[in-house]
């Protein structure tokens, strides 16, 4: 194994010039010792300190915007528009957590009984390990929701940076170090390690000094880390936000098929379909199928080409497509665009074909979807049966809330979209980003929106306190 990480620019088809040192176990050990000390010294317990820290990180991010863009775009091949959206979202999220921390600290919470009073105090869990995903180098990474949510809760954080955007992660870490130094905070409030394998990350989550884990990424990665945290002598909460296939149900009463399908294709192909909320399977009434196929085929062919994040992501995607095609008895409408060589399009199957091919029922991380034709509601319910917990479910049609599928959607997803597209997660108080397993390991909590700081808080009741 090499001791450096290289990143890749898929737009240029070349390796980036900078190399990043892989952390050793000794580096990790130093971070852990320091994080534990920071927690014991209550480095982030004081609410004013937390607010100052988050505000200073906010200022650092704004000041270094262009430097962030440069490294972000060369490592991920994501463009300016996407960067701006993620950048704004990162700042908005940070502000929301800061405000939520303030709100939590001033909440008066006292039960008055005849012979005693009981008050409740939010406490930071302790040092938190965070793993981000490859496809959000800002919003689900070192400056992302899990890290800022844990700070807002008063917890020190150790990030295992993503190797596909190692430079972005290191620059992000530097901005947090700058803020920490400027405010003269304990060095252990933040640590950062890099690895090109699993050793450092797995050691991190098993260390007894770590008290919680925030993960965003694949099902296999999330479950590997979740199992490790649950098999510790002292199991800890592990909030793994994973992928899903995000079903879309087109109802038989739909009147504006063309508008919706064009929006859906845009949602499937934007940034080469590398979104956890990308719609991956569309259920369409048989009566609308001929028209739908024409619209979809045309829309996919005219969609703007976009490179993938990394050659390894691209290779995995094309291998999965090949695997599906090999065991496939439906029709495929796939074509490979010339600029970056990415295959896009859709598979068309009947309910029966969908049911007998499990690989069509799983997330395909790239610009493809499956269209499944159905005749009756019963047939559709049979087709939906193998689909487990989802991040999102979308219903398209007239008054979808009155349909029986609305109830099904609410029990199977963290977010239900009516006549819209699932990509584009707004950072607002009422956002729930998560979903029943296997979309996430704990769907009572959200990874986005201010409620997410609750994941890193424990409560203590104090009887007869005079201060609250
Ligand atoms: P990934 O391969 O699971 O990587 C995420 C992080 O976990 C990386 O740091 C990775 O380290 C680490 N990791 C993976 N497997 C591990 C293991 N067995 N042991 C220890 N560490 C492990 O995911 P990705 O490719 O970056 O992201 C794509 C996936 O994330 C898609 O499925 C997408 O849907 C999902 N996603 C979900 C959300 C959400 O909010 N639910 C948001 C964005 C993306 P290495 O890189 O060193 O392997």
Nearest CA to ligand 1 atom 17: 221
Domain assignment of residue 180, yes or no = yes
Q: Do 314 and 377 belong to one domain?
A: yes
- How many A from CA of 215 to the centre of ligand 1? 8
- How many A from CA of 234 to the centre of ligand 1? 24
Q: Do 238 and 252 belong to one domain?
A: no
Domain assignment of residue 434, yes or no = no
Residue 134 CB–ligand 1 contact under 6 Å: yes
pLDDT at 135: 97
What stretches of 162-200 adopt beta strand conformation (E)? 190-194
Residue 362 CB–ligand 1 contact under 6 Å: no
Q: Do 209 and 322 belong to one domain?
A: no
CA distance 183 to 56: 8
- Choose the residue to mutate in 218, 273, 278 for probing ligand 1, maximizing ligand atoms within 8 Å of C-beta: 218
Q: Which atom of ligand 1 is nearest to the CA of 202?
A: 20
Nearest CA to ligand 1 atom 16: 221
Q: Which atom of ligand 1 is nearest to the CA of 217?
A: 30
Residue 135 CB–ligand 1 contact under 6 Å: yes
Residue 242 CB–ligand 1 contact under 6 Å: yes
Catalytic residue among 36, 75, 86, 241: 241
Domain of 252, CATH number, reads 3.40.309.10
Domain assignment of residue 430, yes or no = no
Smallest CA-to-CA distance from 414 within 386, 394, 396 is with 394
CA-to-CA separations, 374 to 152, 260, 380, 441, in angstroms, rounded: 47, 18, 6, 31
Number of domains in the chain: 2
pLDDT at 223: 98
CA distance 447 to 33: 27
Residue 243 CB–ligand 1 contact under 6 Å: yes
Q: Write the DSSP assignment of 17-54 as a string of letters.
A: EEEEEPPPHHHHHHHHHHHHHHHHTTTTTSHHHHHHHH
Structural domain containing residue 316? 248-418
Nearest CA to ligand 1 atom 2: 218
Q: Do 319 and 414 belong to one domain?
A: yes
Domain of 91, CATH number, reads 3.40.605.10
Question: Are 372 and 285 a contacting pair, CB within 8 Å?
Answer: no
- How many A from CA of 219 to the centre of ligand 1? 8
Which own/partner contact pairs does 225-231 have at CB distance under 8 Å and 24+ positions apart? 225/131, 225/201, 226/441, 228/202, 229/205
- How many A from CA of 221 to the centre of ligand 1? 5
Q: Do 450 and 391 belong to one domain?
A: no
Residue 76 CB–ligand 1 contact under 6 Å: no
Q: Do 123 and 81 belong to one domain?
A: yes
Question: Are 449 and 96 a contacting pair, CB within 8 Å?
Answer: yes
Q: Do 227 and 329 belong to one domain?
A: no
* Residue recorded with tokens 């009756």: 376
Domain assignment of residue 372, yes or no = yes
pLDDT at 468: 63
What stretches of 412-463 adopt beta strand conformation (E)? 413-418, 457-463
Q: Do 377 and 448 belong to one domain?
A: no
Q: Do 234 and 255 belong to one domain?
A: no
Nearest CA to ligand 1 atom 22: 221
276 is catalytic: yes
Domain assignment of residue 447, yes or no = yes
pLDDT at 107: 80
Domain assignment of residue 425, yes or no = no
Q: Which atom of ligand 1 is nearest to the CA of 363?
A: 32
Catalytic residue among 155, 213, 276, 284: 276
CA distance 93 to 450: 8
Question: Are 197 and 224 a contacting pair, CB within 8 Å?
Answer: no
Residue 195 CB–ligand 1 contact under 6 Å: yes
Domain assignment of residue 298, yes or no = yes
Spell out the per-residue pLDDT of the chain, length 468, in tens: 559 999 999 999 999 999 999 999 999 999 999 999 999 999 999 999 999 999 999 999 999 999 999 999 999 999 999 999 999 999 999 999 999 999 988 887 789 999 999 999 999 999 999 999 999 999 999 999 999 999 999 999 999 999 999 999 999 999 999 999 999 999 999 999 999 899 999 999 999 999 999 999 999 999 999 999 999 999 999 999 999 999 999 999 888 899 999 999 999 999 999 999 999 999 999 999 999 999 999 999 999 999 999 999 999 999 999 999 988 889 999 999 999 999 999 999 999 999 999 999 999 999 999 999 999 999 999 999 999 999 999 999 999 999 999 999 999 999 999 999 999 999 999 999 999 999 999 999 999 988 889 999 999 999 998 876
Q: Do 330 and 452 belong to one domain?
A: no
Q: Do 36 and 73 belong to one domain?
A: yes
Length of the chain: 468
Domain assignment of residue 108, yes or no = yes
Q: Do 225 and 260 belong to one domain?
A: no
- Choose the residue to mutate in 221, 313, 440 for probing ligand 1, maximizing ligand atoms within 8 Å of C-beta: 221
């Amino acid at each position: 194994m090499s001791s450096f990480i290289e990143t890749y620019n898929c737009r240029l088809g070349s390796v980036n010039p900078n190399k990043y040192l892989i952390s050793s176990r000794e580096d990790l050990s130093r971070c852990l010792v320091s994080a534990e000390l920071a927690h014991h010294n209550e480095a982030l317990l004081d609410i004013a300190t937390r607010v100052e820290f988050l505000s200073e990180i906010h200022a650092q991010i704004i000041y270094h915007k262009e430097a962030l863009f440069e490294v972000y775009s060369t490592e991920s091949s994501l463009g300016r528009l996407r960067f701006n959206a993620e950048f704004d979202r990162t700042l908005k999220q940070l502000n929301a957590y800061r405000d939520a921390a303030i709100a939590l600290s001033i909440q008066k919470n006292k039960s008055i009984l005849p012979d005693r009073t009981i008050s409740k105090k939010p406490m930071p869990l302790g040092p938190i390990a965070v793993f981000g995903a490859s496809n959000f180098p800002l919003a689900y990474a070192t400056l992302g929701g899990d890290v800022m949510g844990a700070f807002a809760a008063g917890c020190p954080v150790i990030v295992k940076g993503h190797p596909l955007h190692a430079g972005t992660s290191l620059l992000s870490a530097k901005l947090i170090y700058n803020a920490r130094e400027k405010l003269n905070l304990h060095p252990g409030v933040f640590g950062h390690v890099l690895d090109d394998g699993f050793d450092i990350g797995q050691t991190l989550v098993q260390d007894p000094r770590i008290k919680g884990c925030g993960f965003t990424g694949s099902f296999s990665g999330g479950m590997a880390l979740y199992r490790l945290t649950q098999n510790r002598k002292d199991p800890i909460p592990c909030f793994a936000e994973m992928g899903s296939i995000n079903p879309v149900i087109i109802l038989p009463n739909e009147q504006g098929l063309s508008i919706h399908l064009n929006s859906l294709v845009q949602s499937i192909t934007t940034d080469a379909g590398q979104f956890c909320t990308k719609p991956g399977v569309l259920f369409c009434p048989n009566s609308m199928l001929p028209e739908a196929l024409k619209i979809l085929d045309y829309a996919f062919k005219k969609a703007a080409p976009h490179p993938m994040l990394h050659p390894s992501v691209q290779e995995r995607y094309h291998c999965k497509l090949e695997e599906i095609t090999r065991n496939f008895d439906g029709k495929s409408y796939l074509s490979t665009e010339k600029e970056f060589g990415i295959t896009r399009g859709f598979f068309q199957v009947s309910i029966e074909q969908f049911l007998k091919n499990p690989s069509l029922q799983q997330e395909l991380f790239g610009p493809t979807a499956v269209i499944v034709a159905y005749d009756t509601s019963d047939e559709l319910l049979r087709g939906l049966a193998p689909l487990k917990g989802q991040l999102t479910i979308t219903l398209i049609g007239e008054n979808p809330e009155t349909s029986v599928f609305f109830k099904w959607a609410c029990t199977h997803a963290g977010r239900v979209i009516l006549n819209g597209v699932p990509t584009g997660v707004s950072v607002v108080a009422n956002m729930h980003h998560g979903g029943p397993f296997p979309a996430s390991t704990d769907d009572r909590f959200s990874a986005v929106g201010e409620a997410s700081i609750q994941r890193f808080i424990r409560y203590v009741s104090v009887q007869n306190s005079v201060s609250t």
